[in-house]
């Protein structure tokens, strides 16, 4: 049976890289039933639509969502981010943001050398806070961080399960417990409580600032990393930079309970400066497609795609040429 996929090409290079991703998946022989959604900054500028509840309802009938990139320079910051991307994460309860990396600086391998599990529905992204006396000399801005035992525990458990399934069985908690003594305390206690159920998984703890050094100098020390929403956002851009660039960085926004569709997207943005030039590397989108196939239990096709992306000869040329070369190998 064909898997039902909601496709949001989005803005800028988003549609270009997604069409290569769909081409590669097609070449793997996996059957997709595509449902196209015109959403993003361009759509918002045209008619004010961001993400209506009716579309969210429709999505509940789909298996997965595949997104290119959203964002246009003419839309003020936050509108599309909060209204579309974060709304998807919150409303579909996509509480795991999974981002795999290749540890050997820029040298591509066909394995995922380490994976960051970022909590995706809480922390500073919950939007707690506000402005008081805005625009006056006495204005106040607060921006809180929401951390629940429930939210932290389900994320940490997912990370332990993932670590257990990998050969090294090693999990590092990254936080800033020496300064964020409230949320850090909850994360740390939850981490060590859950660890008792996983005696076979080796554990470690790093402060976020130290982790930034280790990412650059010795990423091989990591197998699975679990961290909060904002630390995970920053650390995964660094992860992309040390492992071949953001053009290769893939991600999955997962609802592991499968009560609504999970969403798969490259880590990079819409890059309006290179739209239409053929300079966008579609590999991040293609690898995100492989993560999507894994989630759909099409692991054989996923491994084939990852292997093809790892071959250096597929990594030259324009957006379409790279897509064609990967599809040919698959």
Q: Which chain residues interact with Mn ion by CB under 5 A?
A: 233
Shortest gap between Cβ of 163 and ligand IPM (angstroms)? 22
Q: Residue 294's binding partner, choosing from ligand IPM, Mn ion, none, with beta-carbon cut-off 5 to 8 A by kind? A: none
User: Nearer Cβ to Mn ion, position 233 or 298?
Assistant: 233
In Å, the largest CA–CA distance within the chain is: 62
User: Nearer Cβ to Mn ion, position 163 or 281?
Assistant: 281
Residue 163 CB neighbours (<10 A): 24
**In this structure, are residues 155 and 148 in contact, taking their beta carbons and an 8 Å threshold?**
no
User: Nearer Cβ to ligand IPM, position 16 or 233?
Assistant: 233
Contacts of 249 (CB under 8 A, 6+ apart): 99, 101, 236, 239, 240, 243, 266, 267, 268, 284
User: Nearer Cβ to ligand IPM, position 81 or 202?
Assistant: 81
Mask for 81-110, x = binds ligand IPM (CB under 6 A):
x---x-------------------------
Gap between the Cα atoms of 303 and 325, Å rounded: 16
**Tokens coding 193:** 């409580």
Gap between the Cα atoms of 112 and 103, Å rounded: 8
Q: Residue 85's binding partner, choosing from Mn ion, ligand IPM, none, with beta-carbon cut-off 5 to 8 A by kind? A: ligand IPM
User: Nearer Cβ to ligand IPM, position 81 or 153?
Assistant: 81
Shortest gap between Cβ of 81 and ligand IPM (angstroms)? 4
Q: Provide the strand spans (E) within 189-315.
A: 202-207, 224-227, 250-254, 262-266
3-state helix, strand, coil in the chain (%, to 5): 45, 20, 35
Interacting positions 213-272 with ligand IPM (CB under 6 A): 233, 267
Alpha-carbon Rg of the chain, whole angstroms?
Answer: 20
Closest chain position to ligand IPM (CB)? 81
Shortest gap between Cβ of 267 and ligand IPM (angstroms)? 6
Shortest gap between Cβ of 228 and ligand IPM (angstroms)? 12
Shortest gap between Cβ of 85 and ligand IPM (angstroms)? 5
Number of helical (H) and strand (E) elements in the chain, helices listed first: 12, 12
Q: Residue 81's binding partner, choosing from ligand IPM, Mn ion, none, with beta-carbon cut-off 5 to 8 A by kind? A: ligand IPM
Q: Which residues bind ligand IPM (CB under 6 A)?
A: 81, 85, 233, 267
């Amino acid at each position: 049976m064909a898997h039902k996929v909601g496709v949001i090409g989005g803005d800028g290079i988003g549609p270009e890289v997604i069409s290569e991703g769909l081409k590669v998946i097609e070449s793997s022989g996996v059957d997709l039933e595509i449902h196209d959604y015109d959403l993003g900054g361009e759509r918002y500028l045209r008619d004010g639509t961001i993400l209506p509840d009716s579309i969210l309802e429709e999505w509940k009938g789909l298996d997965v969502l595949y997104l290119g990139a959203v964002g246009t320079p003419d839309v003020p910051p936050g509108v599309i981010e909060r209204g579309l991307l974060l709304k998807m994460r919150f409303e579909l309860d996509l509480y795991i943001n999974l981002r795999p990396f290749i540890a050997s600086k820029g040298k591509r391998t066909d394995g995922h050398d380490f994976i960051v599990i970022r909590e995706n529905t809480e922390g500073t992204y919950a939007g707690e806070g506000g402005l008081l006396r805005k625009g006056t000399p006495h204005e106040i801005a607060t921006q809180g961080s929401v951390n629940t035992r429930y939210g932290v525990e389900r994320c940490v458990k997912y990370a332990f399960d993932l670590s257990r399934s990998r050969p090294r069985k090693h999990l590092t908690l990254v936080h800033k417990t020496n300064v964020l003594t409230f949320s850090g305390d909850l994360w740390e206690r939850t981490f060590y409580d859950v660890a008792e159920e996983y005696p076979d998984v080796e554990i470690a703890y790093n402060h976020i600032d130290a982790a930034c050094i280790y990412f650059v100098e010795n990423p091989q020390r990591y197998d699975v990393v679990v961290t909060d929403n904002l630390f995970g956002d920053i650390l995964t851009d660094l992860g992309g930079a040390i492992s071949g660039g953001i053009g290769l960085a893939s991600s999955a926004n997962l609802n592991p309970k499968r009560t609504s569709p999970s969403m798969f997207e490259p880590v990079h943005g819409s890059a309006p400066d290179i739209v239409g030039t053929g300079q966008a590397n579609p590999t991040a989108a293609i690898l995100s497609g492989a993560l999507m196939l894994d989630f759909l239990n099409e692991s054989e096709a996923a491994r084939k795609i990852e292997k093809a992306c790892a071959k250096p000869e597929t990594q030259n040329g324009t957006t379409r040429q790279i897509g064609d070369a990967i599809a040919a190998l698959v």
